[in-house]
Amino acid sequence: MTDATKSTTNQRIAVIGGGPMGLATAYQLVKDGHSPVLYEGAHKVGGMCITFDFDGTDIERYYHFHATSDVDFFELADELGLEGKMRWKNTKMGVFYNGVVQPWGNPVALLRFKGLGPVGKFRYGLHAFTSVKRNKWDKLDDQDAKTWVKKWIGEKAYDVTWKPLFDLKFYEYSDNLSAAWIWSRVRRIGRSRESLMKEKLGAMEGGSSTWLNALSDAITAGGGDIRLDSRVSRITLETVDGVQRVTGVETPQGGFEEYDHVISTIPLPYVPRILPDLPEHLLEMYRSRKNIAVVCVIAKLRRELTENFWTNVNDPALPFIPGVIEYSHVRDLDDPDEHIVYVPFYVPGEHAMYDETDEQFEARVRDAFKRINPSLSDDDITAVVVSKYRYAQPICEPDFMATLPNWNLPVEGLFVADTSYYYPEDRGISESIKFGRMMARALDG
């Protein structure tokens, strides 16, 4: 055992996963006087927020923005001395429907939208308004989301507005999603507003690297140890007098290291692989997790694609794309003449499309850009990178929490969680930070 695994409180603690949840867990442990060791399988921390050098711009592989409700993120940012680093924009939304981009996301846009009759518009607006105002979700928990949305807005408005999003984000799972989970997504964006007409979203100056670096520095400065390229292959357990407890972790590079506590924050579908000694009924619960992958294309353009930050794509001409995210409308880039657009393809990992080549995804995106903005040509697209994240989105079915093992497992010294655990909230940086800190505090009782 290295010195780094000895904490000032004499508890040897390993955190697995260096995404926002693992980092926040390790940070809180350091604050509480421990010296945790964080194991991250990749060459960099960040998880889904990981950043890279995109043709000279340090940026996230997958689009990330902040809503005004991300209070746990802002609290952490303040603690890290990053107050004043948030940059807010009044962002616009659009919808690509019937071959044209139309405004979307506010009452006037809804009234003017060419694609729905007055009754459909009224019902859609009422559903959005009540969802944003609503606070309680217990009655939505066991309802199916599609049925819930259709009941509010009607079949026709559903087909025009929500159906493409359900189909292109959740595929075969779209018939069994929790209404509470879908509601929480509507509410998050709906509440991030300056006024009824003005949406307000933000990014940190320098992007996610700013807070990821500050968080990593705070962990190491406080006595924690971050080990990169250190994929944990097993969490070891022993049973003494009928009680199962953690003994340590194994990595291909470091072999076995002894720990009193292990906190895993990696996506749940990986858990049976690294915890084969768990009781079979728990393993089965992890094995039955449903999860969607993402293939995300990021492109640099010489000219604007649209004036919108977010454009929903509800047009059958673009059958695989739920939306395009023009990131340069929320984060200022060093060169104001550059425009960065993300195009996510959400797809089950078992789907044949997930294994298609980068060139196939790039070709779809080039086609989409030219349809969305016919004045663009291929020459306007100066760089393209395609990235894949296998477990990008847990699928939350009705009564979701009942399908999950408790994060505080019946194994001494072992906590296991991922983004599923803050249901009905959707996966989010702020929520992962909140949950990670909560687990760290729970360790001390």
Ligand X SMILES: Cc1cc2nc3c(=O)[nH]c(=O)nc-3n(C[C@H](O)[C@H](O)[C@H](O)COP(=O)(O)OP(=O)(O)OC[C@H]3O[C@@H](n4cnc5c(N)ncnc54)[C@H](O)[C@@H]3O)c2cc1C
User: Residues in the site for ligand X, rule: CB under 6 A?
Assistant: 16-22, 39-42, 47-49, 62-65, 231-232, 265-267, 270, 274, 294, 296, 344, 389, 392, 418-419, 427-430, 432
Residue (162 or 270) nearer to ligand X, CB: 270
| In 376-428, alpha helices (H) | none
Residue (110 or 168) nearer to ligand X, CB: 168
Q: d(Cα 48, Cα 388) in Å, to the nearest integer?
A: 10
β-sheet bridge partners, residue 203: 87
Smallest separation (angstroms) from ligand X to the CB of 439? 11
Residue (48 or 386) nearer to ligand X, CB: 48
Residue (128 or 293) nearer to ligand X, CB: 293
Tell me the backbone φ, ψ of residue 366, rounded to 5 degrees.
-60, -45
Q: d(Cα 5, Cα 21) in Å, to the nearest integer?
A: 20
Residue (142 or 250) nearer to ligand X, CB: 250
Q: What tokens were used for 168? A: 């292109």
Smallest separation (angstroms) from ligand X to the CB of 188? 9
- Choose among 163, 192, 203: nearest CA to 105: 192
Instruction: Give 388: exposed, middle or buried? Use CB within 10 Å, 0-12, 13-18, 19+.
Output: middle
User: Distances in Å between the alpha carbon of 335 and those of 50, 292, 301, 329, 393?
Assistant: 22, 34, 12, 13, 32
Residue labelled with tokens 């902040």: 66
Smallest separation (angstroms) from ligand X to the CB of 210? 15
Smallest separation (angstroms) from ligand X to the CB of 254? 12
Residue (381 or 439) nearer to ligand X, CB: 439
Smallest separation (angstroms) from ligand X to the CB of 328? 15
Smallest separation (angstroms) from ligand X to the CB of 322? 11
Smallest separation (angstroms) from ligand X to the CB of 290? 16
Residue (179 or 392) nearer to ligand X, CB: 392
Smallest separation (angstroms) from ligand X to the CB of 425? 9
Residue labelled with tokens 């990008």: 392
Q: What tokens were used for 67? A: 């809503």
Smallest separation (angstroms) from ligand X to the CB of 63? 5
Q: What tokens were used for 10? A: 């004499």
Tell me the backbone φ, ψ of residue 257, rounded to 5 degrees.
-130, 140
Contact call for residues 106 and 197 (beta carbons, < 8 A): yes
Q: d(Cα 294, Cα 366) in Å, to the nearest integer?
A: 18
DSSP readout, 110-131?
A: HHH-TTS-HHHHHHHHHHHHHH
Residue (77 or 376) nearer to ligand X, CB: 77
Q: d(Cα 25, Cα 129) in Å, to the nearest integer?
A: 36
- Choose among 347, 311, 345, 344: nearest CA to 326: 311
Residue (35 or 291) nearer to ligand X, CB: 291
SS (HEC) of 188-213: HHHHCECCCCCEEEEEECCCHHHHHH
